Amino acid sequence: MRNKKARFRIACILAFGLCVAQVGPRISDASTQAKSVSSYTNTDSESGIFRYLKVINPADSASSEKNSDSAARQVESLTTDDEYVNKLGSTLSTQMLSFISNDGAASAYIDTVTGSELASLNRDLRNSGYDGDYTDIVTKVRFTLPAGTLPGSIVKMDNNALFYLEQAISRYPALCCLFTMAALDNVNNTLTVYSPVPKSDLADTISLYQTTLDDMIKVVKDNASDMNDAEKVLYLHDQVVAITEYSLGRTGIHAEDYIPAAAMLFNLSVCQSYAAVLNQALRAVGLTSYVVYSNTHAWVAVRVNGSWYYVDPTYDDSRVLGEGLDTVKHNYVLMGNNADSAHTLSTDYALHFSTDIANHLGGAADSFFPSQINIKNITSQMSYANKGFYYTENNTVYKWLRTTSRKETLNLTAASSRRVAVLDGYVYISGTTGLLKMDPAGSTATRIDTDSITGMYEAARKLYVSKGGAYNIYLSKSSPVTSPSPYVTMSPYTTPLPSGYTPGPTVSPGTTASAGPTSSSRIPTVPPYPTATIYDPTLVSPTPTGYTGPTSTPYPDNDSFTVPAKTYIKQLNNSATRAAYVKWKKVKGATRYQVQYSPSKSFNTKQIRISMTSSVTIANLYKNKTYYFRVRAVKIKRVNGVIAYKYAPWSAKKKLKIKK
């Protein structure tokens, strides 16, 4: 959460009675029903984190008082913490994957959350001081915990039990769909964790998440011997900032924003999701890192050259009005003992991390970069190829070579809106004069697109460009897309140029572009207003005029994979300042929905929001402007090992004027 003026409240432990059938697994024997229930919740509704755990049958008060000191000493050891996080994460991952693969091994029990259960959960939250009801908690996953999975003394220490769950989710990709709302039953040795992802979609979502994570870390894996640890952190930080957008206006009411899959697949998240994805990426390339929390915020601690540093991708995604999705800041990369007051550990996280991490932060992170590089002045994504980073400052393209501590300028004809990105080893340079492509081993670039490209970035091996509107996956002019399929890697150079199309001339060294306006690097007091809603990979540019998308993707070998039914908008109103609330009819069998909106009735300029429920609030609209909305259902299924998508026709469009 990036609101530096957010109220820091001390999370409290509240006791109240609740029938086990409402929150945990159903127990048939009345004699084994819970005698008491305690809960822990983070009560700050402005927070970018969510923490809620209910402990069923905690230890009796005498026992808990007796064990409290030893329990506190036990969790102060980072080695001990790691042991239990790995036990819990491995146990939960194994059971989740066993359920998905149906391999006959012991698996998690997964079921749909009923309306009455959801009402009970929301009632508990309100009783605990939480402001706002969740509507998208649709699945519960009950795991069996073998003896020794968690420290035996934490049964009364609700926040410490929750700590291990939070760390496991942020470390194990198979847990990417889990929300940090849980019930721990000490009689039946079970942990029930809730999720906004429908039961039918868990397998595909987890598989797609792992694939996207692999794509994100590929450059680091392929260049592991050429990149030092600081460079690996820098590259992955920029990938996380690029792939997601802060979920403005939805904090506290959508569980979907808090799970790791939110950042990676839904491209809309809060700090809890940002930090979890970065932590998994860092650990996947061999670095030691942890997600750490204040009372209202989450970021990452990583060890580099034997010292600890903080990395905060959420704060570095703090775009202000007028900045595009390709703005990537570096004010919070590798913070050492210069970390600010916003990055102070909460009481329970200090218990775990102060001794080993917070009290042993390294020195100035600037020492990792050559004196020529002022990392905080760079507000563009830093891409890596051929043992060097490429980036832009003030419309000038640079290559930084660590091995020689040299910063080189790529002399190009002057243009504004310069951005540079690397995709599959090739360097792409955008600008108002078109799109250039070059081999990093060479010294010349070829113009492959004459259109003015005003924004560009790369995320998980996909190149996104903007031509003055939304960001879309780039395809060369030779292959206009008529069957958009989400999350498919589409490289702009894989197809030959069309007949009659002549590439632009080789770009000769010319005058370095003049400096353009720079973006503000301040951290706004509220989450920033982006200039465009986060991209949706089902929108691919260019598309034929008037094309509205297919109603299905043909898979003749699986006729049972049917197109979902058409929906319609039931409610559309200006629900809050610069925001529209859209509600539509649920469609049986739909995996998720796409909400498309535009100031143009023909949807010439369009944005898309993905929702897993039947309603969504869309913020950052312009006052006194009329918008058009339409919705369609999407069904996702694995077909012969490939994730396939089918789309319903768009609903009839409706319009709304934003009056407040």
- Using 50, 70 and 90 to split pLDDT, how confident is the model at 522? very low
> What per-residue confidence (pLDDT) applies to 401?
83
Q: Give the burial class of 329: count Cβ atoms within 10 A of its Cβ; 0-12 exposed, 13-18 middle, 19 or more buried.
A: buried
- For residue 245, what are the contacts with CB-CB under 8 A and spacing of at least 6? 267, 268, 269, 317, 325, 530, 533, 534
pLDDT tens digits along 391-415: 999 889 999 887 776 788 887 888 8
Contacts of 470 (CB under 8 A, 6+ apart): 532, 533, 535, 539, 605, 606, 607, 608
Sign of CA dihedral 256, 260, 264, 270: positive
Measure the CA–CA gap between 279 and 37, rounded to whole angstroms: 32
pLDDT value of position 347? 87
Pick from 44-53, 353-362, 624-633: least confident:
44-53
CB of 292 within 8 A of CB of 276?
Answer: no
Greater confidence (67 vs 450) lies with: 450
Please report the pLDDT score of residue 254 as a whole number. Answer: 85
Of residues 33 and 569, more confidence is placed in 569
Summarize the confidence of residues 474-499 as an average pLDDT: 34
CA angle 617, 326, 248 (to 5 degrees): 20
pLDDT for 638 equals 61
**Predicted pLDDT at 474:** 83
Which of the listed ranges 308-312, 359-363, 439-443, 496-500 does the model predict with the highest average pLDDT? 308-312
Q: For 113-161, how does the pLDDT look when each residue is reduced to its tens digit (9 = 90+)?
A: 999 999 999 998 888 778 778 888 999 999 999 988 888 655 445 567 8
- Give percent above pLDDT 90 in the chain: 39
pLDDT in tens, 98-124: 998 888 788 999 999 999 999 999 998
The pLDDT, as a whole number, for residue 249 is 58
Where residue 589 falls (left for φ over 0; alpha for ψ -120 to 50; beta otherwise) is left
Q: Give residue 429's pLDDT.
A: 93
- The pLDDT tens digits for 291-305 are 999 989 999 999 999
pLDDT at 246: 87
Q: What mean pLDDT is reported for the chain?
A: 76
The residue ranges of DSSP E strands in 188-311, in sequence order, are: 190-195, 289-293, 298-304, 307-311
- Looking at the predicted structure, is the pLDDT value of residue 261 above 50? yes
For residue 366, CA distances in Å to 304, 398, 403, 599 come to: 13, 18, 16, 45
Q: What is the pLDDT of residue 18?
A: 27
pLDDT of 342 over the 80 cut = yes
Query: Per this entry, what is the length of the chain?
Result: 660
Cα distances from 104 to residues 99, 142, 146, 175, in angstroms, run: 8, 17, 18, 20
Write down the residue that tokens 């009796």 correspond to.
60
362-383 exposure pattern, b = at least 16 Cβ within 10 A, e = fewer: beebeebbeeebebeebbbbbb
Grade residue 530 by pLDDT with cuts at 50, 70 and 90.
very low
19 pLDDT above the threshold of 90: no
Check whether 167 has a pLDDT greater than 50.
yes
Q: Give the whole-angstrom CA distance, residue 333 versus residue 234.
A: 7
pLDDT reported for residue 471: 81
Note whether 36 and 57 are within 8 A (CB). Answer: yes
Q: Scanning the structure block, which residue is given the tokens 């007051």?
A: 341
Q: How far apart are CA 511 and CA 15, in angstroms?
A: 70
pLDDT at 469: 75
**pLDDT tens digits along 616-659:** 888 778 889 999 999 999 887 766 555 567 889 999 999 999 99
Range from 124-138, 281-295, 457-471, 609-623 carrying the lowest mean pLDDT: 609-623
What mean pLDDT do residues 520-545 have?
27
* Statement: residue 567 has pLDDT above 90: yes
Average pLDDT of the segment spanning 24-33? 31
Lowest-confidence pick of 89-93, 190-194, 378-382, 462-466: 462-466
Highest mean pLDDT among 213-217, 550-554, 562-566: 213-217
Residue 339's nearest CA partner among 308, 383, 368, 318 is 308
Distance between CA atoms of residues 215 and 213, nearest Å: 5
Q: For residue 516, is pLDDT > 50? A: no
| pLDDT of 70 strictly over 50 | no
Q: Which of the four pLDDT bands, split at 50, 70 and 90, describes residue 368?
A: confident
| Block residue for tokens 């060890």 | 303
pLDDT: which is higher, 449 or 250: 449
